[in-house]
Amino acid sequence: MKNEFPKDFLWGGAIAACQAEGEYDKDGRGPSTSDIHVYDKNIKRNAIAKEGGGTLEEIKFALADQQGYYPKRYGIDFYNTYEQDLDMLAELGLQTFRTSISWSRIFPKGDEAEPNEQGLAFYDRLIDSIISHNMEPIITMAHYDMPLHLVTEYGGLANRKVVDLFVKYAKVILERYGDKVKYWIVFNQVNLVPTVAFGSLGIYEGQAENMEELMYQAVHNQFVACAITKEIARSVAPKAMIGTMLADATYYPATCKPEDVVYTMKKNRMQYFFSDVQLRGEYPGYALKYFEDNGIKIRKEADDDRLLAENTMDFLALSYYYSRIVDAEKNTMSVNSAEQNPYLEPTPWDWRIDPLGFYNCLSQYWDRYQVPLMIAENGFGALDVFEDNTVYDDYRIDYYESHLKALKDVIDDGVKVIAYCAWGPIDIVSSSSAEMSKRYGFIYVDIDDEGKGSGKRIKKKSFNWYQNVIKTNGASLYNSNPN
Protein backbone atom coordinates (compact mmCIF):
# COMPACT_ATOMS: atom_id res chain seq x y z
CA MET A 1 0.00 0.00 0.00
CA LYS A 2 1.09 3.55 -0.69
CA ASN A 3 1.33 4.52 2.97
CA GLU A 4 3.17 1.40 4.10
CA PHE A 5 6.91 1.11 4.59
CA PRO A 6 8.90 -1.45 2.55
CA LYS A 7 8.12 -5.08 3.42
CA ASP A 8 11.71 -5.79 4.50
CA PHE A 9 11.89 -2.69 6.71
CA LEU A 10 12.74 -3.45 10.35
CA TRP A 11 10.86 -1.67 13.13
CA GLY A 12 12.85 -1.64 16.34
CA GLY A 13 14.25 -0.05 19.44
CA ALA A 14 17.71 0.60 20.87
CA ILE A 15 19.42 0.75 24.25
CA ALA A 16 23.04 0.61 25.47
CA ALA A 17 24.57 -1.79 27.97
CA CYS A 18 26.06 1.01 30.06
CA GLN A 19 22.67 2.72 30.48
CA ALA A 20 20.55 -0.34 31.16
CA GLU A 21 22.35 -3.44 32.40
CA GLY A 22 23.54 -2.51 35.89
CA GLU A 23 25.45 -5.18 37.86
CA TYR A 24 28.63 -3.23 37.18
CA ASP A 25 30.79 -5.54 39.27
CA LYS A 26 29.10 -8.90 38.74
CA ASP A 27 30.47 -12.01 37.03
CA GLY A 28 33.95 -10.58 36.59
CA ARG A 29 33.04 -7.29 34.89
CA GLY A 30 35.66 -4.58 35.34
CA PRO A 31 35.18 -0.81 35.79
CA SER A 32 34.35 1.05 32.58
CA THR A 33 34.24 4.66 31.44
CA SER A 34 30.48 4.72 32.07
CA ASP A 35 30.84 3.79 35.73
CA ILE A 36 32.30 7.14 36.84
CA HIS A 37 29.57 9.42 35.44
CA VAL A 38 28.15 10.86 38.66
CA TYR A 39 24.58 12.16 38.94
CA ASP A 40 24.45 15.90 39.60
CA LYS A 41 21.06 17.09 40.85
CA ASN A 42 22.08 20.67 39.98
CA ILE A 43 22.99 19.91 36.39
CA LYS A 44 22.10 22.56 33.81
CA ARG A 45 20.17 20.49 31.33
CA ASN A 46 20.57 22.91 28.44
CA ALA A 47 24.35 23.26 28.87
CA ILE A 48 25.86 19.77 28.99
CA ALA A 49 29.30 20.01 27.39
CA LYS A 50 30.60 16.52 28.17
CA GLU A 51 29.51 13.11 29.43
CA GLY A 52 31.57 12.03 32.43
CA GLY A 53 35.35 11.93 32.43
CA GLY A 54 37.58 14.67 33.75
CA THR A 55 41.25 14.77 34.65
CA LEU A 56 43.14 11.62 35.59
CA GLU A 57 42.92 12.61 39.25
CA GLU A 58 39.15 13.17 38.98
CA ILE A 59 38.70 9.81 37.28
CA LYS A 60 40.57 8.00 40.05
CA PHE A 61 38.59 9.91 42.68
CA ALA A 62 35.28 8.92 41.09
CA LEU A 63 36.31 5.28 40.93
CA ALA A 64 36.99 5.27 44.69
CA ASP A 65 34.10 7.60 45.66
CA GLN A 66 31.69 6.16 48.24
CA GLN A 67 29.45 9.25 48.52
CA GLY A 68 28.25 10.12 45.03
CA TYR A 69 25.60 8.22 43.07
CA TYR A 70 26.70 6.76 39.74
CA PRO A 71 23.51 5.71 37.92
CA LYS A 72 25.13 3.87 35.01
CA ARG A 73 26.53 1.32 37.45
CA TYR A 74 22.94 0.24 38.13
CA GLY A 75 20.91 1.14 35.01
CA ILE A 76 17.45 -0.45 35.11
CA ASP A 77 18.82 -3.86 36.17
CA PHE A 78 18.47 -5.17 32.60
CA TYR A 79 21.18 -7.72 33.40
CA ASN A 80 18.60 -9.53 35.54
CA THR A 81 15.33 -8.42 33.92
CA TYR A 82 16.12 -8.80 30.21
CA GLU A 83 13.75 -11.75 29.71
CA GLN A 84 10.75 -9.87 31.08
CA ASP A 85 11.78 -6.68 29.30
CA LEU A 86 12.14 -8.50 25.98
CA ASP A 87 8.72 -10.05 26.56
CA MET A 88 7.23 -6.54 26.71
CA LEU A 89 9.25 -5.34 23.72
CA ALA A 90 8.08 -8.36 21.74
CA GLU A 91 4.51 -7.46 22.71
CA LEU A 92 5.26 -3.95 21.45
CA GLY A 93 6.05 -5.64 18.15
CA LEU A 94 9.75 -4.90 17.76
CA GLN A 95 11.30 -6.71 14.82
CA THR A 96 14.83 -5.66 15.68
CA PHE A 97 16.57 -4.75 18.91
CA ARG A 98 19.81 -2.82 19.12
CA THR A 99 21.97 -3.13 22.21
CA SER A 100 25.67 -3.16 23.00
CA ILE A 101 28.21 -5.50 24.51
CA SER A 102 30.05 -4.14 27.52
CA TRP A 103 33.73 -4.43 26.59
CA SER A 104 34.68 -4.63 30.27
CA ARG A 105 32.46 -7.69 30.75
CA ILE A 106 34.54 -9.55 28.16
CA PHE A 107 37.97 -8.14 29.05
CA PRO A 108 37.58 -6.58 32.53
CA LYS A 109 40.81 -4.57 32.32
CA GLY A 110 41.03 -4.65 28.55
CA ASP A 111 44.48 -6.21 28.32
CA GLU A 112 43.94 -9.76 29.66
CA ALA A 113 45.28 -12.73 27.73
CA GLU A 114 41.90 -14.51 27.75
CA PRO A 115 38.30 -13.25 27.75
CA ASN A 116 35.99 -13.53 30.73
CA GLU A 117 33.80 -16.55 30.04
CA GLN A 118 31.10 -15.38 32.47
CA GLY A 119 30.68 -12.19 30.46
CA LEU A 120 30.47 -14.10 27.20
CA ALA A 121 27.92 -16.47 28.74
CA PHE A 122 25.66 -13.53 29.62
CA TYR A 123 25.64 -12.33 26.01
CA ASP A 124 25.06 -15.90 24.84
CA ARG A 125 21.85 -15.83 26.84
CA LEU A 126 20.88 -12.28 25.87
CA ILE A 127 21.42 -12.67 22.13
CA ASP A 128 19.66 -16.03 22.10
CA SER A 129 16.73 -14.42 23.91
CA ILE A 130 16.56 -11.54 21.44
CA ILE A 131 16.41 -14.05 18.60
CA SER A 132 13.86 -16.26 20.37
CA HIS A 133 11.65 -13.16 20.68
CA ASN A 134 11.73 -12.91 16.87
CA MET A 135 13.92 -9.82 16.83
CA GLU A 136 16.95 -9.23 14.62
CA PRO A 137 19.84 -8.32 16.95
CA ILE A 138 21.88 -5.22 16.11
CA ILE A 139 25.01 -5.16 18.24
CA THR A 140 27.24 -2.19 19.01
CA MET A 141 30.73 -3.31 19.98
CA ALA A 142 31.71 -0.19 21.91
CA HIS A 143 29.06 2.18 23.28
CA TYR A 144 30.92 4.46 25.74
CA ASP A 145 31.91 1.38 27.73
CA MET A 146 35.72 1.15 27.47
CA PRO A 147 37.53 -0.68 30.30
CA LEU A 148 38.71 2.08 32.60
CA HIS A 149 42.14 0.47 32.97
CA LEU A 150 42.77 1.27 29.28
CA VAL A 151 42.21 4.94 30.08
CA THR A 152 44.25 5.28 33.25
CA GLU A 153 47.16 3.05 32.21
CA TYR A 154 47.27 3.44 28.41
CA GLY A 155 45.63 6.79 27.65
CA GLY A 156 42.80 5.26 25.63
CA LEU A 157 42.73 5.08 21.86
CA ALA A 158 45.36 7.80 21.57
CA ASN A 159 47.71 4.88 22.33
CA ARG A 160 48.09 2.58 19.33
CA LYS A 161 48.36 -0.44 21.65
CA VAL A 162 44.67 -0.01 22.48
CA VAL A 163 43.80 -0.60 18.81
CA ASP A 164 45.29 -4.08 19.12
CA LEU A 165 43.41 -4.68 22.36
CA PHE A 166 40.11 -3.57 20.81
CA VAL A 167 40.68 -5.75 17.74
CA LYS A 168 41.30 -8.74 20.02
CA TYR A 169 37.97 -8.04 21.75
CA ALA A 170 36.17 -7.56 18.42
CA LYS A 171 37.53 -10.86 17.09
CA VAL A 172 36.33 -12.71 20.18
CA ILE A 173 32.75 -11.48 19.89
CA LEU A 174 32.63 -11.86 16.08
CA GLU A 175 33.75 -15.47 16.42
CA ARG A 176 31.28 -16.07 19.24
CA TYR A 177 28.20 -14.38 17.76
CA GLY A 178 28.94 -13.92 14.05
CA ASP A 179 26.55 -16.68 13.05
CA LYS A 180 23.74 -15.09 15.08
CA VAL A 181 24.24 -11.35 14.54
CA LYS A 182 24.05 -9.86 11.05
CA TYR A 183 24.34 -6.14 11.84
CA TRP A 184 27.29 -4.76 13.82
CA ILE A 185 28.10 -1.14 14.69
CA VAL A 186 31.75 -0.94 15.70
CA PHE A 187 31.79 2.32 17.70
CA ASN A 188 28.79 4.40 18.74
CA GLN A 189 28.60 7.94 17.28
CA VAL A 190 32.22 8.30 16.18
CA ASN A 191 31.84 12.01 15.41
CA LEU A 192 30.43 13.19 18.74
CA VAL A 193 33.71 14.60 19.96
CA PRO A 194 34.83 16.31 22.11
CA THR A 195 31.50 15.79 23.96
CA VAL A 196 32.12 12.06 24.45
CA ALA A 197 35.88 11.94 23.87
CA PHE A 198 36.17 10.21 27.24
CA GLY A 199 33.57 7.48 26.75
CA SER A 200 34.27 6.91 23.07
CA LEU A 201 38.03 7.43 22.80
CA GLY A 202 39.14 6.98 26.38
CA ILE A 203 41.10 10.23 26.53
CA TYR A 204 40.97 12.45 29.59
CA GLU A 205 41.34 16.17 30.28
CA GLY A 206 44.93 17.40 30.44
CA GLN A 207 46.29 14.27 28.78
CA ALA A 208 48.26 16.33 26.23
CA GLU A 209 49.17 19.94 25.61
CA ASN A 210 47.32 19.91 22.29
CA MET A 211 44.07 18.12 23.13
CA GLU A 212 42.57 18.62 19.67
CA GLU A 213 45.54 16.88 18.07
CA LEU A 214 45.33 14.07 20.62
CA MET A 215 41.62 13.72 19.92
CA TYR A 216 42.06 13.42 16.15
CA GLN A 217 44.93 10.97 16.68
CA ALA A 218 42.59 8.82 18.78
CA VAL A 219 39.90 9.17 16.09
CA HIS A 220 42.39 7.98 13.46
CA ASN A 221 43.24 4.98 15.62
CA GLN A 222 39.51 4.34 15.97
CA PHE A 223 39.17 4.37 12.17
CA VAL A 224 41.99 1.82 11.91
CA ALA A 225 40.35 -0.36 14.57
CA CYS A 226 37.12 -0.33 12.55
CA ALA A 227 38.95 -1.23 9.34
CA ILE A 228 40.80 -4.16 10.94
CA THR A 229 37.53 -5.33 12.49
CA LYS A 230 35.94 -5.32 9.03
CA GLU A 231 38.90 -7.25 7.62
CA ILE A 232 38.62 -9.87 10.37
CA ALA A 233 34.86 -10.16 9.88
CA ARG A 234 35.33 -11.27 6.28
CA SER A 235 36.90 -14.52 7.47
CA VAL A 236 35.31 -15.19 10.88
CA ALA A 237 31.78 -13.82 10.21
CA PRO A 238 31.39 -13.58 6.42
CA LYS A 239 27.64 -12.85 6.57
CA ALA A 240 28.07 -9.94 8.97
CA MET A 241 27.49 -6.35 7.89
CA ILE A 242 29.87 -3.95 9.63
CA GLY A 243 28.75 -0.34 9.99
CA THR A 244 29.87 2.98 11.34
CA MET A 245 27.64 5.43 13.20
CA LEU A 246 27.28 9.20 13.35
CA ALA A 247 25.33 11.47 15.64
CA ASP A 248 23.78 13.77 13.08
CA ALA A 249 25.18 17.28 13.27
CA THR A 250 23.90 18.73 10.01
CA TYR A 251 23.66 22.48 10.57
CA TYR A 252 21.58 25.17 8.88
CA PRO A 253 23.10 28.60 8.17
CA ALA A 254 21.74 31.24 10.54
CA THR A 255 20.97 33.50 7.58
CA CYS A 256 21.32 33.51 3.81
CA LYS A 257 24.41 35.72 4.06
CA PRO A 258 27.09 34.06 1.91
CA GLU A 259 29.43 34.06 4.91
CA ASP A 260 26.95 32.03 6.96
CA VAL A 261 26.21 29.65 4.10
CA VAL A 262 29.86 28.89 3.31
CA TYR A 263 30.88 28.63 6.95
CA THR A 264 28.02 26.21 7.58
CA MET A 265 29.11 24.12 4.61
CA LYS A 266 32.64 23.91 6.02
CA LYS A 267 31.37 23.00 9.47
CA ASN A 268 29.07 20.32 8.07
CA ARG A 269 31.92 18.96 6.00
CA MET A 270 34.07 18.42 9.11
CA GLN A 271 31.24 16.25 10.44
CA TYR A 272 31.11 14.33 7.15
CA PHE A 273 34.86 13.78 7.63
CA PHE A 274 34.19 10.89 10.00
CA SER A 275 32.02 9.02 7.54
CA ASP A 276 34.01 10.15 4.48
CA VAL A 277 37.06 8.28 5.78
CA GLN A 278 35.10 5.16 6.70
CA LEU A 279 32.84 4.99 3.66
CA ARG A 280 35.14 6.42 0.97
CA GLY A 281 38.34 4.92 2.31
CA GLU A 282 40.68 7.91 2.50
CA TYR A 283 41.24 11.24 4.21
CA PRO A 284 39.54 14.04 2.25
CA GLY A 285 41.51 17.11 1.19
CA TYR A 286 39.42 19.55 3.24
CA ALA A 287 40.28 17.62 6.44
CA LEU A 288 43.98 17.51 5.60
CA LYS A 289 43.87 21.28 5.08
CA TYR A 290 42.07 21.78 8.40
CA PHE A 291 44.75 19.76 10.17
CA GLU A 292 47.52 21.73 8.45
CA ASP A 293 45.91 25.08 9.25
CA ASN A 294 45.50 24.11 12.91
CA GLY A 295 48.89 22.51 13.50
CA ILE A 296 47.48 18.99 13.85
CA LYS A 297 49.73 16.10 12.86
CA ILE A 298 48.27 12.61 12.55
CA ARG A 299 50.72 9.75 13.03
CA LYS A 300 49.99 6.85 10.69
CA GLU A 301 51.55 3.43 10.50
CA ALA A 302 52.71 2.01 7.18
CA ASP A 303 49.62 -0.10 6.51
CA ASP A 304 46.96 2.37 7.67
CA ASP A 305 46.04 3.84 4.28
CA ARG A 306 45.63 0.37 2.78
CA LEU A 307 43.46 -0.76 5.69
CA LEU A 308 41.15 2.25 5.34
CA ALA A 309 40.92 1.92 1.55
CA GLU A 310 40.20 -1.81 1.49
CA ASN A 311 37.85 -2.03 4.47
CA THR A 312 35.14 0.59 4.07
CA MET A 313 32.01 0.13 6.14
CA ASP A 314 28.93 -1.66 4.81
CA PHE A 315 26.29 0.76 6.10
CA LEU A 316 25.88 4.08 7.87
CA ALA A 317 23.97 4.12 11.16
CA LEU A 318 22.66 7.44 12.40
CA SER A 319 21.22 9.00 15.51
CA TYR A 320 18.96 11.99 15.01
CA TYR A 321 17.21 14.10 17.64
CA TYR A 322 17.30 17.80 16.69
CA SER A 323 18.99 20.44 14.54
CA ARG A 324 20.91 23.68 15.14
CA ILE A 325 22.14 26.69 13.18
CA VAL A 326 25.55 28.28 12.58
CA ASP A 327 26.53 31.94 12.52
CA ALA A 328 29.89 32.73 10.89
CA GLU A 329 30.50 35.61 13.30
CA LYS A 330 29.63 33.73 16.50
CA ASN A 331 30.66 30.11 16.05
CA THR A 332 33.82 28.04 15.78
CA MET A 333 34.48 24.65 14.21
CA SER A 334 33.92 22.87 17.54
CA VAL A 335 30.92 20.54 17.43
CA ASN A 336 29.44 22.27 20.49
CA SER A 337 29.64 25.71 18.90
CA ALA A 338 26.24 26.39 17.34
CA GLU A 339 23.07 28.38 17.94
CA GLN A 340 19.49 27.38 18.57
CA ASN A 341 16.97 27.82 15.78
CA PRO A 342 14.36 30.40 16.88
CA TYR A 343 11.78 28.86 14.54
CA LEU A 344 11.76 25.53 16.40
CA GLU A 345 10.28 24.45 19.74
CA PRO A 346 12.65 23.39 22.56
CA THR A 347 12.51 20.39 24.87
CA PRO A 348 13.53 20.78 28.56
CA TRP A 349 17.09 20.01 27.41
CA ASP A 350 16.78 22.72 24.72
CA TRP A 351 16.86 20.22 21.88
CA ARG A 352 14.91 21.83 19.06
CA ILE A 353 12.39 19.48 17.42
CA ASP A 354 12.82 19.39 13.65
CA PRO A 355 11.33 16.53 11.58
CA LEU A 356 12.26 18.33 8.36
CA GLY A 357 15.85 18.25 9.58
CA PHE A 358 15.50 14.46 9.70
CA TYR A 359 14.42 14.43 6.06
CA ASN A 360 17.19 16.85 5.15
CA CYS A 361 20.09 15.02 6.79
CA LEU A 362 19.07 11.55 5.57
CA SER A 363 18.78 12.87 2.04
CA GLN A 364 22.24 14.43 2.29
CA TYR A 365 23.86 11.24 3.56
CA TRP A 366 22.26 9.13 0.84
CA ASP A 367 23.23 11.53 -1.92
CA ARG A 368 26.80 11.60 -0.59
CA TYR A 369 27.39 7.88 -0.02
CA GLN A 370 24.73 5.70 -1.67
CA VAL A 371 25.08 3.06 1.06
CA PRO A 372 22.28 1.58 3.17
CA LEU A 373 21.25 3.75 6.13
CA MET A 374 20.09 2.61 9.54
CA ILE A 375 18.28 4.82 12.02
CA ALA A 376 20.12 3.62 15.12
CA GLU A 377 18.51 6.21 17.41
CA ASN A 378 15.61 8.64 17.26
CA GLY A 379 13.32 9.62 20.07
CA PHE A 380 11.94 12.14 22.52
CA GLY A 381 13.38 12.57 26.01
CA ALA A 382 10.87 14.16 28.36
CA LEU A 383 9.96 14.76 31.98
CA ASP A 384 7.11 12.26 32.00
CA VAL A 385 4.36 12.55 34.61
CA PHE A 386 3.20 9.21 35.96
CA GLU A 387 -0.51 9.33 36.83
CA ASP A 388 -3.44 6.92 36.77
CA ASN A 389 -0.93 4.07 36.46
CA THR A 390 0.38 5.30 33.10
CA VAL A 391 1.98 8.22 31.28
CA TYR A 392 -0.16 10.25 28.88
CA ASP A 393 2.69 11.09 26.52
CA ASP A 394 0.92 12.58 23.50
CA TYR A 395 3.98 14.81 22.98
CA ARG A 396 6.05 11.67 22.34
CA ILE A 397 3.46 10.34 19.91
CA ASP A 398 3.49 13.68 18.06
CA TYR A 399 7.30 13.60 17.84
CA TYR A 400 7.41 10.07 16.46
CA GLU A 401 4.55 10.62 14.05
CA SER A 402 6.20 13.66 12.44
CA HIS A 403 9.64 12.02 12.24
CA LEU A 404 8.36 8.72 10.86
CA LYS A 405 6.43 10.57 8.17
CA ALA A 406 9.63 12.41 7.27
CA LEU A 407 11.41 9.04 7.12
CA LYS A 408 8.72 7.66 4.83
CA ASP A 409 9.20 10.65 2.51
CA VAL A 410 12.93 9.87 2.37
CA ILE A 411 12.26 6.22 1.55
CA ASP A 412 9.78 7.27 -1.15
CA ASP A 413 12.61 9.30 -2.68
CA GLY A 414 14.53 6.05 -3.17
CA VAL A 415 16.74 6.12 -0.08
CA LYS A 416 17.58 2.63 1.23
CA VAL A 417 16.86 2.48 4.97
CA ILE A 418 17.40 -0.87 6.69
CA ALA A 419 15.79 -0.23 10.06
CA TYR A 420 14.35 2.31 12.46
CA CYS A 421 15.35 1.97 16.12
CA ALA A 422 13.44 4.16 18.53
CA TRP A 423 15.86 5.22 21.25
CA GLY A 424 15.10 3.83 24.67
CA PRO A 425 11.86 1.91 23.98
CA ILE A 426 12.05 1.23 27.71
CA ASP A 427 13.22 4.00 30.08
CA ILE A 428 16.98 3.89 30.78
CA VAL A 429 19.59 6.16 32.36
CA SER A 430 20.34 9.21 30.19
CA SER A 431 23.68 9.10 28.42
CA SER A 432 24.29 12.85 28.57
CA SER A 433 23.00 13.76 32.03
CA ALA A 434 22.94 10.41 33.92
CA GLU A 435 19.30 11.11 34.84
CA MET A 436 16.41 8.66 34.91
CA SER A 437 14.01 11.57 34.69
CA LYS A 438 14.98 12.14 31.05
CA ARG A 439 12.68 9.42 29.79
CA TYR A 440 12.40 8.16 26.22
CA GLY A 441 10.50 4.90 26.61
CA PHE A 442 7.19 3.49 25.53
CA ILE A 443 7.57 1.59 28.82
CA TYR A 444 7.86 3.45 32.12
CA VAL A 445 10.40 2.15 34.65
CA ASP A 446 9.72 3.05 38.27
CA ILE A 447 13.22 4.22 39.22
CA ASP A 448 14.11 7.82 40.04
CA ASP A 449 17.30 9.86 39.60
CA GLU A 450 18.77 8.48 42.82
CA GLY A 451 18.02 4.85 42.00
CA LYS A 452 14.98 4.59 44.23
CA GLY A 453 11.74 2.91 43.20
CA SER A 454 10.10 -0.45 42.65
CA GLY A 455 11.63 -1.01 39.20
CA LYS A 456 8.16 -1.93 37.94
CA ARG A 457 7.58 -1.71 34.16
CA ILE A 458 4.36 0.01 33.01
CA LYS A 459 3.11 0.76 29.49
CA LYS A 460 2.73 4.41 28.52
CA LYS A 461 0.05 5.67 26.15
CA SER A 462 2.65 5.68 23.36
CA PHE A 463 3.10 1.90 23.76
CA ASN A 464 -0.16 1.07 22.03
CA TRP A 465 0.45 3.78 19.45
CA TYR A 466 3.87 2.43 18.37
CA GLN A 467 2.53 -1.12 18.54
CA ASN A 468 -0.12 -0.14 15.99
CA VAL A 469 2.42 1.64 13.78
CA ILE A 470 4.47 -1.54 13.60
CA LYS A 471 1.43 -3.79 13.15
CA THR A 472 0.28 -1.73 10.16
CA ASN A 473 3.83 -1.27 8.81
CA GLY A 474 3.41 2.48 9.13
CA ALA A 475 -0.02 2.83 7.52
CA SER A 476 -1.60 3.98 10.80
CA LEU A 477 0.54 7.12 10.67
CA TYR A 478 -1.76 8.40 7.95
CA ASN A 479 -5.05 7.78 9.75
CA SER A 480 -7.13 10.86 10.45
CA ASN A 481 -6.81 10.25 14.22
CA PRO A 482 -3.37 8.64 14.78
CA ASN A 483 -3.67 8.85 18.58
Beta-strand (E) ranges in 290-403? Answer: 315-320, 325-326, 373-378, 386-387, 390-391
Mean pLDDT of 243-266: 98
pLDDT of residue 471: 98
Q: What is the mean pLDDT of the chain?
A: 96
Is 146's pLDDT higher than 70?
Answer: yes
How do residues 435-446 score in pLDDT, each as one tens digit?
999 999 999 999
Confidence of residue 482 (pLDDT cuts 50, 70, 90): very low
Higher pLDDT, 117 or 335: 117
* CA nearest to 169, candidates 234, 218, 228, 240: 228
Mean pLDDT of 388-400: 97
How do residues 25-39 score in pLDDT, each as one tens digit?
999 999 999 999 999
Rounded-to-integer distance, Cα 270 and Cα 194, Å: 13
Higher pLDDT, 52 or 155: 155
Determine which helix (DSSP H) or strand (DSSP E) holds 270, and give its type and residue range. Answer: helix 258-280
pTM as predicted: 0.96
Q: Is it true that domain 10-478 has CATH number 3.20.20.80? A: yes
Q: How far is CA 428 from the centre of its chain?
A: 14
Rounded-to-integer distance, Cα 47 and Cα 25, Å: 31
Question: Do residues 323 and 354 touch, judged by C-beta distance below 8 A?
Answer: yes
> Is the bond leading into 194 cis (omega within 30 degrees of zero)?
yes
How do residues 156-177 score in pLDDT, each as one tens digit?
999 999 999 999 999 999 999 9
Rounded-to-integer distance, Cα 386 and Cα 271, Å: 39
Q: According to DSSP H, which parts of 345-460 are helical?
A: 355-369, 394-412
pLDDT of residue 480: 57
Angle between helices 461-471 and 78-92 (to 10 degrees): 60
How do residues 414-472 score in pLDDT, each as one tens digit?
999 999 999 999 999 999 999 999 999 999 999 999 999 999 999 999 999 999 999 99
Secondary structure (3-state) at 130: helix
How do residues 182-207 score in pLDDT, each as one tens digit?
999 999 999 999 889 999 999 999 99
Is 264's pLDDT higher than 60?
Answer: yes
pLDDT of residue 481: 55
Contacts of residue 67, Cβ cutoff 8 Å, sequence gap at least 6 = none
Is 394's pLDDT higher than 70?
Answer: yes
Q: Where are the domains of the chain?
A: 10-478
How do residues 212-238 score in pLDDT, each as one tens digit?
999 999 999 999 999 999 999 999 999
Mean pLDDT of 148-162: 98
Mean pLDDT of 116-135: 98
Is 483's pLDDT higher than 50?
Answer: no
423 bridge partner residues = 14
Beta-strand (E) ranges in 307-351? Answer: 315-320, 325-326
